[in-house]
Structure 1
Amino acid sequence: MQITRQPPVKTTLKPSNHPYLSGPWTPVHEEVDVDELEIIEGEIPADIDGIYLRNTENPVHQPLGRHHPFDGDAMVHQVSISGGKASYRNRFVRTHCFTQEQIAGEALWGGLMDPPALSKRPGFGAHGSLKDTGSTDIIVHAGTALATLYQCGEAWQIDPVSLENLGKASWGPIDGISAHPKVDEDTGELMFFNYSKHAPYMHYGVVDRAGMLVHYAPIPLSGPRLPHDMAITKNWSILNDMPLFWDEELLKRDIHAARIHDGIPTRFALIPRHGQPEDIRWFEASPTYVLHWTNAWEDGDEVVLEGYYQDKPMPDPIKEAGEYSHMMAYVDEHSFQSRLHRWRFNLKTGATTEERLCDRIVEFGMINPDYLMRKNRYIWSTTTRPGWFLFNGYVRHDTQTGTEQVFQLPDGVYASESPMVPRKGAASEDDGYLVTFLIDENSGTSELAILDASDVTKGPICRARLPHKISSGVHSTWVEHSQLQADADFKRRSLAA
């Protein structure tokens, strides 16, 4: 394992017993390149050829106020796999805010739990005073990785191979983009949304494969909302208006306190991919909040949507967590009780029907990417340690039979969001792998791990040592080397035309 270290970043972060600045959430500040990872167990399958990218909340400076796990700076960890070998590198995302804090040598912005006045400079996002970290989601569109912020910031561009920072996306609108834009590889289009505290409160856009904003439309709402994710089908984009949003009276005093609004249903906006406000089809459903969708597709006169329904979007505080009681509950799946759910929207009648797909508390699911916008049978969800935002296992759902496979990691070992990677020449929907990072608090180490997606109960079939213990993170993605090559070829043809 040959390690190349990058120049160190400036940091003022002090050791802490904060639950999301210690243990598996302890930040790492070194940036390294490793030419080939050392195999601990098994072997890397030869029929996997692509790049795993994981975004990480990884704070650099001592917080100005109370720290929330979503406040951290973005660090992208990457493993490139080809020919049965894997390399590793990690880099901070050099957002404007990261760069300004490196110049100042200290934190300049407060966090999610702090009053806006605590920030030393004007902030970003729908909240209005936050640091744009770009540390929530990561996807790849048209050969470029995009790191995005959950509350709407700039889309920060990164070379997915070298992790070179490429600056903010030129097509980003003034209200930014939220986390979880979606990419249709067949057309090369990226669909996104944003939200704000000024009318019309939401917008929806489409970026083409050449990186041009080709569509941008208002989505009128009755007030500020807090959507987190969207879904797409071949013809529709699905946005939402849910009853968990900022308290209107407190918002007048610049206090951002989310609460459930009784008597208000969940609403879904189905808009044609290049549609206008007058083309929106609105559907009502039972009140809830949903962080993440797994897939959507068209089925005759119906549009089908699957995701994680929260039975208790406004959870009770975890009293034993003391001063962190509210914060710990709002990031704990066992507190807000997320379960796999299906919605059906009938385009003829305007009716919505719903059904529960799983009684187990799960979230952060992945599907075979070849089945995006198509009816899929399998979903791979993560389980979490009760009381914590820490992944401790997997559930493979068979939505056709209702059966499940479950794998639980050993105590003190935690996973990352894990894309499903189809095997080359796959014979079935579940013929492939889950790729993840493991953090082992027992040994103080981290690993690359690969699981058999068709039988997760076997646990990792391959483990490779990382050069340092990494911090727990948020979202991840997988991109095939062949897709990157196709995108590069498209860019060359476009420049030559």
Structure 2
Amino acid sequence: MVALDSPLSTPLHHHSRSKSRCIKQKKTNYYWTELSAKSLSLQATNSSLIKTLFMPPHHSSVDPKQILTGNFAPVDEIPPTECPVVDGELPPSLNGVYIRNGPNPQHQPHGPYHQFEGDGMLHSLRISHGCATFCSRYVKTYKYSLEQKLGSPAFPNFLSGFYSFADIARCAAFIGRIVTGEIKPRKGFGSANTSLTFFANKIFALCESDLPYVIHLTPEGEMFAFRCSLVVPPFLTLFHFDVNGTKVSNLPIFSVQRPTFIHDFAITKRYTVFAETQLVMKPIKLVMARGTPLDFDPDKVPRIGVIPRYATSESEIRWFSVPGFNAMHIINAWGEDHDENVINLLATNGLSIEHFFHELETVHFSVEKVRIDMRDGSVSRATLSPTSLEFGRINLTYVGRKSRYAYFGVADQVPKMSGVVKLDLELGREVSSRFYEPGCFGGEPFFVARDVSVPDDQLDEDDGYLVSYVHDESTGESKFMVMDAKSPNLDVVAAVKLPQRVPYGFHGHFVREKDLTEN
């Protein structure tokens, strides 16, 4: 009250009526001020409450502000740029182009974002007679082109999931654009950010969320592929293409009775082999804003399906229960004899797979050799290394037949690999390894045969090179590393300094110069 009266110059006992009105007015102003302050405070509280209810804080695994940092942050496209060879010499066997795929969102995500998402970007290194040229380009998918035109994201990140009404509202807007014809889902909605293959003189960028899905090529030039449906059956469909790229058949597999995360498969001379894991898809979680539709089912028993390569009916499939076997990548499969009465499968098994989505860095990946006896239905397994290994590759000329060697990235924090390990499948153990310098991380080690002029059957299986992009987090620089796959320590043969960093990504492929010329 003193504060209200203090502006008056007249003593309190003078002009009592005027003073009374002044005090009353000041009281009214005070109460209005206090009420306004409380109202603003209430509005701030409501705003905070609305923000919490409608846009709750993202889990760290889907928070773009936390994920898109360091070498996970996107980079711009870069035109063909010459690169210096800073260590050793590039061998003649590497004349061609190495291309690696990976996520690289062109726009800052508006909602949840997982490191598996983002527009596909191809980082390629063209090698010719010891010289190297680097280039990074987006895969021009329908999704990428449309969002480039709009200048902002238009497709929800369904794998990340929905966590709030705001996420559902964005999905509703997306559906509205489909209804009005602004977005045409038949043109595709995937990001093509996962892997690559070379087929029918064409390079295909692959991703589960869009065609052409996952592919394996045979020595005869055929292509086998599969796709998964997340909503309606069949939840798994197998495809077969001839050497000209013409689709010969597609076979729906209705014995996969619910949407399942099937990421890879393998082929032998007679069979197609794939693994059904405990990771399932629950689209209802999107409708209820309960996060990612990818879920772990502890009651589900993983299975391996084996079906003839040229099967015409699903009745030809055989299922084998393999408890605890959640295959992420299947590196190879082969039969022990001509009739393939016994099939061997080499794959990485995700332990503690329930943490696959939100805490991927805690998942240990065990390399296992699985033996399936087609006669009596028995299944046995052997672990080949105590180290957590992922992104395995073999000499591709051994796809579908017995291979002795496989090469893996050391999976400290997928997709960051701290080194490379070579496994001898006959000895059942590690035989050589190379770890990168502290703070340096690579990716999938891709095998390239040493001498293309020598027939494959006259070369040792491991006579070649391992190539990968390696990033130095202390300097922010990336290099292309070439290692001798046959040497005891996977010796570095050459290193190329790249003009810009290459974000951590997934799978790659090497295409030889002669194949590029033919194309």
Give the TM-score range, shorter chain. 0.7 to 0.9
Structure 1 stretches (4+) deviating beyond 6 angstroms? Answer: none
8 Å CA contact retained: 1:244, 1:288: no
Mapped partners of 1:64, 1:237: distance in 2: 40
| Separation (CA, whole Å) in 1 of partners of 2:141 and 2:422 | 36
Task: Report the equivalent of 2:49.
Answer: none
Could you tell me how far 1:390 is from its partner in structure 2?
A: 1.0
Determine the C-alpha separation between the residues in 1 that align with 2:161 and 2:285: 14
Give 1:49's aligned residue: 95
- CA RMSD of the aligned region, Å? 2.5
- 1:190 paired with 2:223, answer yes
Query: Percent sequence identity over matched residues?
Result: 26
Q: Work out the CA distance in 2 between the residues paired with 1:63 and 1:93.
A: 18
Match of 2:421 among 378, 390, 395: 395
CA shift, 1:483, in A, is: 4.0
Q: Secondary structure at the match of 2:67?
A: coil
Alpha-carbon deviations, 1:166-190, whole Å to 9, x = none?
Answer: xxxxxxxxxxxx3x31111x22111
Distance 2:280 2:306 in 1: 20
Q: Which runs of 5+ in 1 are unaligned?
A: 1-15, 156-177, 317-325, 489-497
Alpha-carbon offset, residue 292 of structure 1: 0.5
CA 1:458–1:249 in structure 2 vs 1: closer, same or farther (change >3 Å)?
closer
- State the shift of 1:400 in Å: 1.8
Instruction: Establish whether residue 439 from structure 1 lines up as the match of residue 471 from structure 2.
Output: yes
CA contact (8 A) 1:447 1:466 kept: yes
- Give the structure 1 partner of residue 448 of structure 2: 421
The one of 74, 95, 102 aligned to 1:27: 74
> Helix, strand or coil: the match of 2:315?
helix
Counterpart CA distance in 1 for 2:510 and 2:354 is 32
Aligned match of 2:318 in 281, 296, 308? 281
Instruction: Give, in angstroms, the shift of residue 29 of structure 1.
Output: 1.1
Tell whether the 8 Å contact from 1:57 to 1:136 is kept in structure 2 after alignment. Answer: yes
Whether contact under 8 Å (1:396, 1:456) holds in the other structure is: no
**2:279 partner amino acid:** L
The answer to whether the 8 A contact 2:119-2:138 is kept is yes
**Is 1:258 the counterpart of 2:294 in the alignment?**
yes
Distance 2:385 2:412 in 1: 18
Q: Which residue of 1 aligns with 2:15?
A: none
- Return the offset for 1:396: 0.8
Which residue in the other structure is 1:71 paired with?
Answer: 117
1:309 aligns with 2:335: no
TM-score (norm 2): 0.77
Partners of 1:446 and 1:468 within 8 A in 2:
yes
CA contact (8 A) 1:378 1:399 kept: yes
Contact 2:161 / 2:286 at 8 angstroms: preserved in 1? Answer: no
Helix, strand or coil for the counterpart of 1:314? helix
**Does the C-alpha gap of structure 1 residues 433 and 456 become closer, same or farther in structure 2, counting only changes over 3 Å?**
farther
**1:145 — aligned with what?**
203
> Which of 240, 245, 267 is the equivalent residue of 2:303?
267
Q: Write the distance in 2 (CA, Å) between the matches of 1:485 and 1:208.
A: 22
1:409 and 2:466 correspond: no
Preserved contact between residue 365 and residue 411 of structure 2 (Cα < 8 Å): no
TM-score, scaled relative to structure 1 = 0.81
Structure 1's 265 and 114: CA in aligned 2 closer, same or farther, altered over 3 A?
A: closer
Q: CA deviation at 1:295?
A: 0.6
**What secondary structure, in the 3-state scheme, does the structure 1 residue paired with 2:344 have?**
strand
Q: Could you tell me which of 224, 237, 243 is aligned with 2:272?
A: 237
Deviation at 1:391, TM superposition (A): 1.3
| 1:191 shift after superposition | 0.8
| CA-CA distance at 1:459 after TM superposition | 4.4
- Contact 1:183-1:190 within 8 A present in 2 as well: yes
Query: Aligned residue for 1:295?
Result: 332
Please name the residue that 1:121 is paired with. 174
Alignment partners' CA distance in 2, 1:142 and 1:254: 43
* Whole-angstrom distance in 2 between the partners of 1:218 and 1:46: 45
Q: Tell me the CA shift for residue 88 of structure 1.
A: 2.1
Q: Which residue of 2 aligns with 1:476?
A: 508
Q: What are the residue-to-residue correspondences of 1:338-349 with 2, within 5 Å?
A: 338-349=365-376
Q: Which residue of 2 aligns with 1:154?
A: 211
Q: Deviations over 1:61-101 (max 9, x none)?
A: 01011221122111101122232232222211111110111
Tell me how far apart the structure 2 counterparts of residues 202 and 103 of structure 1 sit (CA, whole Å).
34
Quote how far apart the aligned CAs of 1:468 are: 1.2
Deviation at 1:456, TM superposition (A): 6.5
Tell me, in whole angstroms, the C-alpha distance in 2 between the residues paired with 1:51 and 1:283. Answer: 40
Pairing of 1:74-153 with structure 2 (within 5 A):
74-111=120-157, 112-115=159-162, 117=168, 118-119=170-171, 120-122=173-175, 131-150=189-208, 152-153=209-210
Letter in 2 for 1:468: Q
C-alpha distance in 1 between matches for 2:402 and 2:283: 39
Paired residue for 1:222?
Answer: 257
- SS at the partner of 1:209? coil
Contact 2:278–2:326 (CA<8 Å) still a contact in 1? yes
Q: How far 1:199 moved relative to its partner?
A: 1.5
Q: 1:241 Cα shift?
A: 2.0
Deviation at 1:131, TM superposition (A): 4.7
- In structure 1, C-alpha distance between the alignment counterparts of 2:514 and 2:289, rounded to whole Å: 48
- Structure-2 separation of matches of 1:103 and 1:94: 12
CA contact (8 A) 2:64 2:113 kept: no
Aligned partners of 1:209, 1:38: CA distance in 2, in Å?
39
Which aligned pairs between 1:311-350 and structure 2 lie closer than 5 A?
311-315=351-355, 327=358, 329-330=359-360, 332=361, 335-350=362-377
Secondary structure of the 2:92 match is coil
- Paired residue secondary structure (2:144): helix
Q: Deviations over 1:285-319 (max 9, x none)?
A: 12332210111111121111100012211139xxx
Greater helix share, structure number: 2
